[in-house]
Amino acid sequence: MFKKLKAHWGVNGINLLLIITTFALGGSLCGFAGRKLLLLTNLEKGVAWVLLYIILVTLLWPLCVILISIPLGQFAFFKRYLIKVWKKMSGRRNSPPLKKNEIRVAIFASGAGSNALKITDHFASSPVVKIALIVCNKPGAGVLDIAAKNNIPALLIDKERFLKGDNYLPELESRKIDFIVLAGFLWKLPVPLIKAYPKKIINIHPALLPKYGGRGMYGDRVHETVLAAGEKESGISIHYVDELYDHGEMIFQAKCSIDENDTAGSLAQKIHALEHAHYPRVIDSLLQK
């Protein structure tokens, strides 16, 4: 049962324990609070008392769970969980019917999601392209909040299932995903997923490939290596994804100069500016072909 819960929620063992603890403590707290509130009514125990108690517990439960989740570090998980419950109860869970010729895009991201936000904003009013899914491998990542705020379904994935199981292909197929954009996603994609989406998966790398790519080359590690090599310029590379790290066919590159006073942090800011300016535009041009 616990393995199924870990896979379903996309969490590790420690987080699963904290989530179960939050459910238990939240339930106990709302039960205690419900009884205390009923004492104020001077209502005698009976059918009316039981009905009122059930109503109070139902109303108090989300608040109590959220309250307990904060010190246990599970606030982000329960925020998303309660939003899903609300959508299901209010009948908003069902997706609207697919538009004819609609291109459905999934964004894979592991961190704060600044590129995911720019891409989402770019296509917010598009009559053709829909950001249909945010896929994340890290509980509590900022990109999950971006998904929630923009009413985009989110899928939190488990490493075992992603790399050695069905690669979440049934999930992508059921959501009619046509195109995949990697935006700071740190796991290597499994071969079956790449083969299922030939030339329909792209990635952005924060350096000028083929230099400074490969396993372990992400974030500040890339910028530190570029600076240590004495390069005079860096930039971004947008490419199709194949079976190797940072290796697929090149689509687009943009450059920025490196000053003698640049640090990994200042170079990262220059790279982010290039990413935000070009990645949504390049995706748009590819989808219009």
Active site residues: 205
Which token pair is 178? 């046509």
Residue identified by tokens 């792209």 is 202
Say how far apart CA 64 and CA 23 lie, in whole Å: 9
What residues contact 18, with CB distance under 8 A and at least 6 apart?
72, 73, 74
Say how far apart CA 158 and CA 8 lie, in whole Å: 8
The residue type at 138: K
Say how far apart CA 137 and CA 111 lie, in whole Å: 9
- Per-residue CA distances from 7 to 161, 219, 236, 252 (Å): 7, 28, 34, 36
